[in-house]
Amino acid sequence: MKLRRQIGIALVLLSVTCTGHANDENQLLEVIREQTAAIADDLISWRRDIHQHPELGDQEQRTAALVAEHLRGLGLEVRTEVGRTGVVGILRGPTAGPTVALRADMDALPVKELNELPFASRATGDYFGEQVPLMHACGHDAHTAMLMAAASVLSSVRDQLAGTVMFIFQPAEEGSSLVQPGSGESWGALRMLQEGLFDELKPDAVFAMHVMPGEPGRISWRSGATTASSDTLRITVTGKQGHGGMPWDTVDPIVTSGLILTGLQTVVSRRAMLTESPAVVTIGSIHGGTGPNVIPERVIMAGTIRTYADAVRQQVRESIELSVRSVAASTGAAAEVSIVPGYPTTVNDAALVELMTPVVEQAADGKVGRASLIGASEDFAWFAKEVPGFYLFLGVTPPGQDPATAAPNHNPRFFVHEPALEVGARAMASLAASYLIRHDAVER
């Protein structure tokens, strides 16, 4: 079956180059380019409005209302409150055909913006009972605006679409601000799927794009594993409390924690199958003790685990538990290890990437490249586990600035060079339109 599909892709790539399919596709892509340019000012206006009014995961009421109103104005079928605050728009062409999905995330972060912009965020929001400053520090405002633009463009060529386009505006990619990890409740992409997103209309492929530091308008991607899986690690070390001047009457959980930290370094360097997948184990917080002369009873550590292959992910989990408990036992302490699964690895479908690469190259005017593995995780992975997925990156560093010196995503000075968003919107619309043509040819 795999060989048959590869042969089919090769044939369709030949057909769109040498037959009438190429003419039809190229003409459609040229119209998409023109239509995207025509609404570039609207695209920037939408992005600035959303940027100025950020909302945390599962609280994107204003953003969702803005998106739903826009999609209804285009004549799309619209569903709201999918996965709490998600919005889904359906655009049906005049003839039957495959279904393709485009996805954007809508949520912001609990970050105080430091950019001096007329549309900078001054908003605050409720983050688990605490009022915190908010900012679109990861660029989801840009993602939402680009997908709104792609919906406008594809609606303008609706009569030329042989199939259906699904626009997924997803909440809580950064995590929910209402649901604690480990509570058993889901959020974001997984919750949308659990509520039946793909039950009535399951796409044949799904695409998404993420802005990040890079040459403006340059699109990059990789085949296979693209972003990391994420697990949240919590270690509780329990000893025996006592006087700091008489440690022999205690079991010191602070010293034990230091030994545990050292032992965790060997989980990756000596136990992980690094030829199969990179792995990262990071401890980001340590809390224990109340005074300089008191050895506490308990130390709590928290961190994250990142991998790119299921086998390595499982091996690292098991190695952490073995190392932590063994080290603690060697000092007379006890240790509890909790590993809460997060997002899976985002895997770009190799056949889909091969099929659609020429379309991306055309949309980006040849400014393309191969992306490095990303240490961040991304819940687009849940969609890509259901159907073939293709996740791309768009450079948004201003011209003349070295991307290596630009503020990264999640930084209070993260900055988006807005003209690059036209390239992203054009690419998203082009991917959807071309996929309907190319998928149809492969299936035949």
Q: What is the pLDDT of residue 19?
A: 56
Kindly state whether residues 390 and 241 are assigned to the same domain. no
Read off the pLDDT of residues 14-23 as tens digits, 9 standing for 90 and up.
555 445 567 8
Residue 343 known to be catalytic:
yes
Q: How far apart are CA 425 and CA 392, in angstroms?
A: 12
**152 and 136: one domain?**
yes
Last residue in a domain, options 285, 312, 341 = 341
Does residue 318 share a domain with residue 279? yes
Q: Which domain holds residue 276?
A: 229-341
Domain shared by 33 and 76, yes or no: yes
Q: CATH number, domain at 265?
A: 3.30.70.360
Q: Is 418 one of the annotated active-site residues of the chain?
A: yes
pLDDT of residue 101: 98
Catalytic annotation, pick one of 55, 60, 418, 422: 418
Which candidate in 308, 343, 391, 435 is catalytic?
343
pLDDT for 245 equals: 97
If one counts the domains in the chain, the total is 2
Q: Are residues 162 and 303 in the same domain?
A: no
Residue where one domain finishes, among candidates 307, 341, 375: 341
Same domain? For 166 and 30 the reply is yes
At residue 441, the pLDDT reads 54
What residues in the chain have per-residue pLDDT under 70? 1-21, 440-444
Residue by residue, DSSP assigns 67-118 as HHHHHHHTT-EEEEEETTTEEEEEEE-SEEEEEEEEEEE---BS-------T
Tell me: the pLDDT tens digits for 182-207? 788 999 999 999 999 999 999 999 99
For residue 183, what pLDDT is reported?
86
From 341, 365, 380, the end of a domain falls on: 341
Q: What is the CATH number of the domain that holds 180?
A: 3.40.630.10
pTM confidence score: 0.93
- The verdict on 6 and 103 lying in the same domain is yes
Q: Are residues 171 and 49 in the same domain?
A: yes
Burial of 325 (0-12, 13-18, 19+ CB in 10 A): middle
User: In this predicted structure, what is the pLDDT of residue 439?
Assistant: 83
